[in-house]
Amino acid sequence: MIDWSKKVAEKATELEQCEKKLLLNTVEKKSMGLNALTPWLAPIVWDGTYDMSILDKQHSGTRIGLFVFAVKKYIRFLQPFLETAERYFMVGHKVTYYVFTDKVDGVVKPKMADGRILQLHNVVADQRWQDVSMRRMEILTVFTKKHMPNEIDYLVCADVDMVFKDRVGVEILGDLVATIHPAFLISELKHFTYERRPISAAYIPDGEGDFYYMAAFYGGKVDEIYKLSVACQNGIIEDKKKNIEAVWQEESHLNRYLVYYKPTKVLSSEYIWNTNAPYGDLVKKKRFIILNKNNQEIRN
């Protein structure tokens, strides 16, 4: 006696597996984000593509900065950001946190391991959240020129409404490093949300571009970040003079810069993960997570 319900169930599973394979094939073909190398032969960093012990040895003595803004209501994200950074960010290496806030006195300093320093800097709290976000580029042009070169070798710039959930180590270090936006990991070029108005300094013409990078996590040698921040800040000022603002603020200017000055290392979406992003099964390690927040509340 054939158990037909079992047979049907088996077929259904088989069909599902087949569809998944088909999906993966179609996805694989189109999207460069899943490769391990960019067309200009820069590494795309995925778990399992490097030997951590070799890299840690190469970087013994390297000094790393982590730059973050925590202004107005975003101050609430700073403690979990720092506490999880102490657990996962460059553990065993020399780290200096550059925290810019309008509430220096309100900062709760986490317990910090040896070789790790917390620098607190006061910063003006712009009225609009877009201006707060863009202000980061201006501050970077100042601090990467004078303050940081004597203190660190590499600088990593991050959003603060994030937490580290897995190792983020020296594998991310390089001359100029950017991270693929989780929502665009396998999107096609024509769907990237670049600035498309030729009048804007952040304009990227159709057909140009490689990945859509998110401004929540990028970095590089200090002088590379100096050059990047000057270019972005100039673009922001140029647009302001025309009374326009790029569609995704400094992220638009960052993407424009990186089309012409290509990153020497690209980080997969392991390094910026959004739990609502599709295809989570393709990203085995979610290392640095965007916190869900009520934008309406947090930005006003």
Which residues of this protein are in contact with ligand 48C, per CB under 6 A?
68-72, 74, 129, 132-133, 159-161, 216
Angle subtended by helix axes 249-260 and 129-143, to nearest 10: 40
Nearer to ligand 48C, 59 or 181 (CB): 181
Nearer to ligand 48C, 66 or 71 (CB): 71
Q: To the nearest whole angstrom, how small is the minimum distance from the Cβ of residue 93 to ligand 48C?
A: 23
Q: To the nearest whole angstrom, how small is the minimum distance from the Cβ of residue 279 to ligand 48C?
A: 20
Of 86, 171, 224, 251, the catalytic one is 251
Nearer to ligand 48C, 62 or 130 (CB): 130
CA distances from 22 to 8, 29, 104, 282 (A): 21, 11, 53, 14
Instruction: Report the C-alpha dihedral over residues 43, 47, 52, 56, rounded to 10 degrees.
Output: 60
The residues pairing with 218 across neighbouring beta strands, listed in sequence order, are: 157, 178
Nearer to ligand 48C, 216 or 267 (CB): 216
Taking CB atoms, the residue at the shortest distance from ligand 48C is 159
CA distances from 135 to 4, 157, 237 (A): 65, 13, 11
Q: To the nearest whole angstrom, how small is the minimum distance from the Cβ of residue 160 to ligand 48C?
A: 4
Q: To the nearest whole angstrom, how small is the minimum distance from the Cβ of residue 15 to ligand 48C?
A: 39
Is there a catalytic annotation at residue 251? yes
Give the single-character DSSP code of 16: H
Question: How far is the C-alpha of 37 from the C-alpha of 44, rounded, in Å?
Answer: 5
**Residue ranges of the alpha helices (H) in 44-163?**
52-58, 78-88, 129-143
CA distances from 143 to 138, 152, 155 (A): 9, 11, 11
Q: To the nearest whole angstrom, how small is the minimum distance from the Cβ of residue 185 to ligand 48C?
A: 17
Nearer to ligand 48C, 72 or 256 (CB): 72
What is the set of active-site residues?
251
